[in-house]
Structure 1
Amino acid sequence: MLSYSHEVFFEVATNLSFSKAADILYISQPAITKHIQSLEKHYKISLFERKGNSVSLTSEGKILLEYVVKGRELQRQLEFDISKQKDLQLAKGSFTLGTSTTISLYVIPPVFSAFHQQYPNIDLKLVNRNSENILKALLDHEIDLAITEGRNTITSVKYQFFLTDEVIPVCSAKSSLVKKKNIAPDELKTIPVALRERGSGTLSAVTEALQKCKLSIADLQHKIVLGGTEALKNFLLDDTCLGFLPLRSVARQLKNGELVRLTIPGLTIHRSFYFMQRRGSEADRINQLFIKLATSHYNKKL
């Protein structure tokens, strides 16, 4: 079994920061240092190279990290497998899911609630990043499972279809754009647009759809670029420009008339959400429980 010092080492090694590890584990930096020194004394090696305010892993530290990552996964599986013998619903364990903004805000909450009700002893954690950074978190073993918009070509991960989503053009009800029955794709070159940041799944979906209309993001009049679905939505509520947002994120505002869906003939933006796992972890029991429950939850709504 891994010791708490190994857990401390994992956080320092994956964040390359003693202060970040202290914040994550809710202990002091001197306590972090003490745990690292304990491991270094035990293994008779140096785990980190310290240069000013930055740290990096030594070659021995990289080897230890590799084994600690494997050990954490085995320990997690062991705890789950032993505790489920009497009753699956009483099984103990931990599960960290990584998702993009849209998914974490509008897709996952009801699934987490249902999962917690069914498996109350499994600790749930949600990590929210843009799609680009979620992939890195998965490969760095920061999360157990990811849900992303679209697929990457990296061979070290496996994708499994989850849901279809739609991104739509919207504007505030007070915008003059509401008077337009249709907006031709070429007109987008003359209309101020608020966009998501580079690396977001929403922007990628919009970019791909524009290309089919022989347009690019560079052709648009960028009024502002915002990091986050809610930030973009709140901006559009107070402004008169056009923006592209997931339908799930603006359903309430469309219903109460605060936002209006615009029509751009020839421009349809659909994307797929996928479960993403590291290859070799497909048999992870808790991952499979979550995938099964999440898929079942949304299939019932169809």
Structure 2
Amino acid sequence: MNLFQLRAFDAVAREGSFTRAAARLFISQPAVTGHIKALEEHYQITLLRRTARRVELTEEGTRLAAITRAMFGLAEEAQAMLEANRQLLTGRLEVAADGPHMVMPMLASLRARYPGITVNLRLGNAQETLAALLSEHADVAVLTEVEPRKGLHLQALSESRICALVPEGHPWARRTKGVPLKDLDQVIMVLREPSSITRRTFDDACVQAKVNPRVLLELDSREAVTEAVAAELGVGVVSSVEVSHDPRVAAVPIIGEGLVNRHMMGCMERRRDLRLIQAFFGLAPSR
């Protein structure tokens, strides 16, 4: 069995791309292709299906990828343990986050303290961020409202409050002390999709308070909500950590129960002692 071929396959399986796999292994793309072709020909098996847009695993490839991920994951842990006493002069950290606002200051601190560390940041929604962490496509993640589960290490970061987003000329824009949740009953609103953590928190609070806003639009990004509010299509909601500095809109705290979200950092429990992961956790702001 040729470990070079298996490592090339593992890299393509993780990255979903020959180009990114080559970059991950610091070899040429033809070398990656050659290793996988030799592996498939030797064992008379098709492991990858090439499409116009990406590389997909066959059923056999999926089974092999589960083995190689565990195998090379252990090898990476062994290497990290052996280098634990060395200074963090070089390295690569895969970070996932469900929004840029909390993770960016932490990455700036990481850059200042460990300038030789390369970071790959994946931004996605809450489900995508958690999935990246659990599948070990990410070493660490910054998450919102994640329930504890076996094998997952979580560390509290901060809390944020749900705010109403209104046009600058709206009567609520000057209510610095906030607007009661009950005032949103029958108000026309433009909100994120139902799977959004901010939307779910707001919806749950409305159900508990028997408040029934009129949802006019459902949008798939914070930016789209901001544009809709600026166009005076309705009132939006936004987390207090995600408030933009757009002069066309104003964020006003919503007063009521259940309108707080918890933010945390996470990694796989078995990897929490790796030095690079510990270094990232050490960047968490003081609460």
TM-score, scaled relative to structure 2: 0.79
SS of 2:36 mapped into structure 1: helix
Task: Give runs of aligned pairs for residues 171-182 of structure 1, distance below 5 A.
Answer: 171-175=166-170, 178=173
SS of 2:282 mapped into structure 1: helix
**Deviation readout 1:106-138 (Å, 9 max, x if unpaired):** 112221122122222221111011001111112
* Aligned mate of 2:283, from 288, 293, 299: 293
**Deviation readout 1:19-68 (Å, 9 max, x if unpaired):** x51464479998765432222245x2525275998954344x34532342
* Aligned mate of 2:262, from 255, 268, 272: 272
Q: CA deviation at 1:81?
A: 5.0
Question: Is 2:96–2:129's contact at 8 Å kept on the other side of the alignment?
Answer: yes
**Deviation readout 1:211-248 (Å, 9 max, x if unpaired):** 33134xxx432222222223322332232521111223
Q: Which residue of 2 aligns with 1:202?
A: 198
Q: Which residue of 2 aligns with 1:232?
A: 225
Q: Which residues of structure 1 form unaligned runs of 5+?
A: none
Q: CA deviation at 1:251?
A: 5.6
Q: AA paired with 2:242?
A: S
Indicate how the Cα distance of structure 1 residues 50 and 230 shifts in structure 2: closer, same or farther if over 3 A, else same. closer
SS of 2:104 mapped into structure 1: helix
| Cα distance in structure 2, aligned partners of 1:2 and 1:166 | 50
Q: Which residue of 1 aligns with 2:274?
A: 284
SS of 1:276 mapped into structure 2: strand
SS of 2:194 mapped into structure 1: coil
Q: Which residue of 2 aligns with 1:13?
A: 13
- What is the percentage of aligned positions where both structures have the same residue? 19
Equivalent pairs counted in the alignment come to 279
Deviates more, 1:32-41 or 1:118-127: 32-41
Indicate how the Cα distance of structure 1 residues 48 and 241 shifts in structure 2: closer, same or farther if over 3 A, else same. same
Q: CA deviation at 1:80?
A: 4.6
- Higher percent of residues as helix: 1
Q: Which residue of 1 aligns with 2:125?
A: 130
Q: CA deviation at 1:170?
A: 2.0
Q: AA paired with 2:47?
A: F
| Cα distance in structure 2, aligned partners of 1:161 and 1:262 | 25
Q: AA paired with 1:88?
A: Q
SS of 2:280 mapped into structure 1: helix
SS of 1:252 mapped into structure 2: coil
Task: Give runs of aligned pairs for residues 130-279 of structure 1, distance below 5 A.
Answer: 130-152=125-147, 154-175=149-170, 178=173, 185-215=181-211, 219-250=212-243, 252-253=245-246, 258-262=248-252, 264-266=254-256, 269-279=259-269
Q: CA deviation at 1:265?
A: 4.2
SS of 1:155 mapped into structure 2: coil
**Deviation readout 1:54-106 (Å, 9 max, x if unpaired):** 954344x3453234223443454455555564x5142x2211111102xx2x1
| Cα distance in structure 2, aligned partners of 1:282 and 1:243 | 38
Q: Which residues of structure 2 form unaligned runs of 5+?
A: none
SS of 2:271 mapped into structure 1: coil
Does 1:121 find its partner at 2:116? yes
Q: AA paired with 2:96?
A: G
SS of 2:166 mapped into structure 1: strand
Q: AA paired with 2:205?
A: A
Does 1:109 find its partner at 2:99? no
TM-score, scaled relative to structure 1: 0.76
Does 1:94 find its partner at 2:95? no
Q: AA paired with 1:10?
A: D
Question: Is 1:8–1:21's contact at 8 Å kept on the other side of the alignment?
Answer: no
Indicate how the Cα distance of structure 1 residues 149 and 120 shifts in structure 2: closer, same or farther if over 3 A, else same. same
